[in-house]
A and B are shown apart, each in its own frame.
Chain A
Amino acid sequence: MNRTIKTFTFAVKLPSRRYPILSRAGFEGDDYWLSFSSAWLNRWILPSKLSQRRTEPGKSLKLPKNRPKYLNLLRIKQPAPAMVSLLHRITGALLFFPGIPAFLCGLEMALSSPEKYARLQAILTSPLAKVGLLVSLWFFVHHFCAGIRFVALDLHYGIELEQARLTSKVVLVAGVIITVLIGVLTW
């Protein structure tokens, strides 16, 4: 299950008020996106794992300089706020493409003529399309709820660790519940 990767970039959102020094290390402007690169992993994560290796007493652990990096992406567990942030990014990218063009296509069909409206209705009522619609709806609802949370964090509401963890769980659950509710109301 090990996967070798050459470069790995992972970004976490940090409230700039709590971590002013860390956030200065991030991108200019996006002042609380702190990027961790493979260099960071190499410097901090991997040595701490390797130092747990048993060494003979009196002998220092010598490591080759260009050692390979192994990182099992499936075994990395992220806390709930990180999941919300990551999902916000993934859903945002998917809402941009294919989300926006698909939505505009649908809007055009719904408004241009009765024949096209009927065809759109026929397409959207097929079971496969309904599943697709529900998944897209969840993408949108999650992005919406997580976005409200991020704006609240920017306004310094709920930036304490406990609150931030709680609201991120609320966002994850609310996304699913609202999606199901809209699905039930529509069909």
Chain B
Amino acid sequence: MVKRSVRLTTGANYGLRDWLGQRVTAVVMAVFILCLAGALLVAPPQGYAGWKAVFANQWMRIAAFLFLVSLFWHAWIGVRNILMDYVHATGVRLTLQILVILSLLLYTVWSAEILWSA
């Protein structure tokens, strides 16, 4: 008999994708925040007109939208982990997870509207 040494793998195997996604979105957000903080420190926008001018730039809108989508994705993975750890009743957890997904989709539409109607 030949003894096979096969590492047992179980589960849905989406763990690595989520784990990596959380870190990649974190890095994207960190880069955006540090750049923004630097820009605000050098030249802080003055009043409504100043902020409006910042977000009138199409590249700024795209960058801010990418930041917000990364934030929502990151939040989904984090909240899902928290719910899986502490909410053990399947029905309650599923309901909460659906509510979280729906709210994050709503936030995505809302942030696009805020950025492109500004």
Contacts and interface: CB of A to CB of B under 8 A. Distances in A.
A30 B75 CA distance: 16
Contacts, number: 80
B14 A96 contact: no
A144 to B, nearest CB: 7
B28 interface: no
Q: Secondary structure at chain A's binding surface: helix, strand, loop or mixed?
A: helix
A11 B85 contact: yes
A28 interface: yes
Contact of A28 (B12, B86, B100): B12
Interface stretch (A45-53, A102-110, A123-131, A158-166): A102-110
Contact of B85 (A35, A100, A112): A35
A100 B114 contact: no
Closest 7 A/B residue pairs (Cβ):
A29-B15, A28-B11, A111-B118, A117-B48, A114-B48, A96-B75, A108-B114
Contacts of A15: none
B79 A93 contact: yes
A22 to B, nearest CB: 16
B36 interface: no
B26 A107 contact: no
Contacts of B88: 7
Interface in B36-90: 41, 47-48, 51-52, 55, 71-72, 75, 78-79, 81-82, 84-86, 88
Q: Secondary structure at chain B's binding surface: helix, strand, loop or mixed?
A: helix
Interface in A1-50: 7, 9, 11, 27-31, 33, 35
Interface stretch (A65-73, A147-155, A168-176): A147-155
B97 interface: no
A144 B30 contact: yes
Nearest to B117: A112
Nearest to A109: B114
A101 interface: yes
A30 B26 contact: no
B111 A104 contact: yes
Nearest to B27: A151
B85 A9 contact: yes
Contact of B81 (A30, A111, A154, A185): A30
